Copies of this chain bind each other. A is one copy, B any other.
Amino acid sequence: MATPQFKQLRRSYGFDEVAIVPGDVTINPDQTNIDFKVENFTFSIPILAAAMDAVTDVNLAALMSKLGGLAVLNLDGIQTRYDNPQEILSEIAQASDAEVTPLLQKVYSQPIKENLIGERIQSIKKAGAVCAISVVPANTKRFAPIAAEAQADIIVVQSTVTSARHISKSYRGLIFSELRESISMPIIVGNCVSYNACLELMRTGISGVLVGVGPGAACTTREVLGVGVPQITATIDCAAARDAYQQESGRYVPIITDGGIGKGGDLCKAFASGADAVMLGSILAKAKEAPGVGLNWGMAHPHPALPRGTRVKVGTTGTLEQILFGPTSVTDGSQNLVGALRAAMGICGVRNIQEMHKAEMVVAPAITTEGKSWQLSQS
């Protein structure tokens, strides 16, 4: 009898399961460089605000750019469906837990007004900010030219999972190499989580890849679809694809870890796993300037037939500047994210993000099972 052939499963890891090992050398945090580059754009901090309606609006995008990062405005959300988004955001904030999913489904079923796309982009540009906008693949061919005309700087094509080859009979799939030729701005595409998928996307000529399926706090994709890869492994795999692609093409395409980063420690681990930048949702929704007023919800939540998400109460804990740069009296890692990154890099003895990619990591038990057990026996 032949040996049975069983399907093999690879072990994967999430933020809570790993830790960064200090280096043999240490360095003062003020000597670290954390620049992030996408084609000709250079950002002084490697942090993007997510294209979520509770996180990014025109004001937050302007502020984020001023602070050195980049916010992405969602062109398929409330900002382009409603002349007065504020009204709708208040309504969502006031809905009860039982009411909120049907309400979101209704809110997001209103048509997108094409005129608002241009208006929002121009408002961001007028504030002197770099303007990044996001569209779902199915709307890209229609909205990309409008965004280009309004002089958006960077386009993000994003859905739960986006591949270089999509099969559909209802419409001709989006071809990224064609899109790239038709518009001149950098294209960031996401999300993906595996080596091959990432490599194929990079080969279409795009400018950046968003990494992450299922990990976000406001997302229930793993519960509903069973799909997802924990972020440490997803980032490690896509970083390997980036490095392989650089070897074959000479072109360095940055990867952005998107989703599941809830505290400074997670952010530092993303970089140690290979991220060039991170995209933050719920942790930035805590900012006073965030449109969600202390709440957050995922962009798959309003799906009409298969909603995947939770409205999360994140609270309003400080200004965006405090969350990014401190100073702070909060000790749970949710503020002074940039300070945390520089401190971790100092401990690892690395001078820039690419050196941080080489920091050693270990698989470690979740924090709650290490050394803190006696506290429980106290109560």
Contact B223 A332 (CB under 8 A): yes
Contact B224 A333 (CB under 8 A): yes
Could you mark each residue 142-170 of chain A with 1 if its beta carbon is under 8 Å from any beta carbon of chain B, else 0? Answer: 00000000000000000011111111111
The answer, among B2, B167, B225, for a CB contact under 8 Å with A268, is B225
Contact B163 A336 (CB under 8 A): no
CB distance from A196 to the nearest CB of B (A): 5
Is A264 at the interface (CB under 8 A from chain B)?
yes
Contact B362 A11 (CB under 8 A): yes
9 A-B interface contacts by CB (under 8 A): A4-B240, A15-B373, A17-B365, A28-B168, A160-B347, A224-B265, A306-B326, A307-B330, A309-B331
Is A220 at the interface (CB under 8 A from chain B)?
yes
CB contact list, A339-376 vs B, under 8 A: 339-340, 343-344, 347-349, 360-367, 369-375
A229 to B250 Cα, complex, angstroms:
36
Is A216 at the interface (CB under 8 A from chain B)?
yes
CB distance from A84 to the nearest CB of B (A): 25
Measured as residues with beta carbon below 8 angstroms from the partner, the interface class of chain A is: 35 or more
Contact B16 A373 (CB under 8 A): yes
State whether A101 and B329 are in contact (beta carbons under 8 Å apart), knowing that A24-B200, A166-B27 are contacts in the complex. Answer: yes
CB distance from A312 to the nearest CB of B (A): 6
The answer, among B4, B259, B314, B365, for a CB contact under 8 Å with A378, is B314
The answer, among B19, B193, B196, B378, for a CB contact under 8 Å with A226, is B19
Is A269 at the interface (CB under 8 A from chain B)?
yes
Question: Which of chain B's residues have a CB closer than 8 A to the CB of A372?
Answer: 217, 262
User: A residues bordering B, Cβ < 8 Å?
Assistant: 2, 4-7, 9-28, 30-31, 101-102, 105, 160-170, 192-197, 200, 213-217, 220, 222-233, 236-237, 239-241, 243-244, 247, 259-269, 272-274, 282-283, 301, 304-310, 312-315, 326-334, 336, 339-340, 343-344, 347-349, 360-367, 369-375, 377-378
Contact B304 A163 (CB under 8 A): no
Most B CB within 10 A of own CB, among A331, A332, A372? A331
State whether A371 and B216 are in contact (beta carbons under 8 Å apart), knowing that A20-B226, A331-B307 are contacts in the complex. Answer: yes
Question: Which of chain B's residues have a CB closer than 8 A to the CB of A10?
Answer: 362-363
Contact B371 A15 (CB under 8 A): yes
Contact B226 A344 (CB under 8 A): yes
